[in-house]
Homo-oligomer: A and B are copies of this chain.
Amino acid sequence: MRNLKVFIAYNGAAYHGFQRQDNAITVQEVVEKAIGKLLKTAPPTIYGCSRTDTGVHARRFCFNVHIDGKIPCEGFIKGMNTLLPDDIAVISCEDVSDDFHARYDTKAKEYVYLINNKPSRDVFLQNLAYHYPYKLDIEKMNEAAKLFIGEHDFAGFCRAEGKARVKSTVRTIYNLGATLKDGVCEIRIRGNGFLYNMVRIVAGTLIYVSEDKRTLEDVRNAIETGARDFAGVTLPPDGLYLNEVFYDEILGT
């Protein structure tokens, strides 16, 4: 059996996240069915690098899948892009060793949170950004962002029901910063792993800092004590993108 490492992009607006669910359409189900159709087999199980929530997007999402047959990788990409709907695209495909697992082998991930910071809604960013029309203090947001860098217990930045899913809430953040360009604010965060809703809470905390609803001291407290109340609001899923997945040790540092 072959083991394919596949990168896809998807616009999550129409999906209940990546992970297969009963009674709701997900990216995983659509991709698995397309592979089955392409290879004229039953839909195989694909192993995604991550769960993503309803409405969350991915610029680069990795999965692996075990398949039989001799279809060349180029043929896999072209065939899949013909079979998949317009909001999912296969970017790359390669044969990898049997033991590669898209989720367990992840070394680091990068997320981007997009905020439309223009006064009016952006008709070209429907479902693709959070609309926040007030002035953002990017400098202050970046001061707060620095506090996240390093290894910390991010229990204060995790949705309650997410804690039971993980053994530890300690994660390492390599980079976090906010930029503003052409009326769009981009918050970019890279780390060795993320808790449930963590990026959306971190982004909401930076906005609360910009609004003086939270001080740098509050953010420090949230990181040190794990108390959710010191952090900010959870921003909506529309603005969230899984931007990159790294399987190479060096890239995360």
Known: A9-B120, A120-B9. A126 touches B81 (CB 8 A): no
Cα–Cα, bound, A9→B91 (Å) = 31
Contact B123 A88 (CB under 8 A): yes
Cα–Cα, bound, A83→B36 (Å) = 44
Asked whether A196 is an interface residue with its Cβ less than 8 Å from the other chain, the reply is no
Size category of the A interface is: 20 to 34
Contact A86 B126 (CB under 8 A): yes
Contact A124 B86 (CB under 8 A): no
Chain B residue at smallest Cβ distance from A86:
B126
Contact A121 B57 (CB under 8 A): no
Contact of A128 among B9, B91, B124 (CB under 8 A): B124
Cα–Cα, bound, A81→B122 (Å) = 11
Asked whether A11 is an interface residue with its Cβ less than 8 Å from the other chain, the reply is yes
Asked whether A89 is an interface residue with its Cβ less than 8 Å from the other chain, the reply is yes
Cα–Cα, bound, A129→B148 (Å) = 38
Contact B126 A11 (CB under 8 A): yes
Chain B residue at smallest Cβ distance from A120:
B89
Asked whether A49 is an interface residue with its Cβ less than 8 Å from the other chain, the reply is no
List the B side residues contacting A88 at CB < 8 Å. Answer: 123
**Chain A interface residues toward B at CB < 8 A:** 9-11, 57, 59, 77, 81, 86-91, 120-124, 126, 128
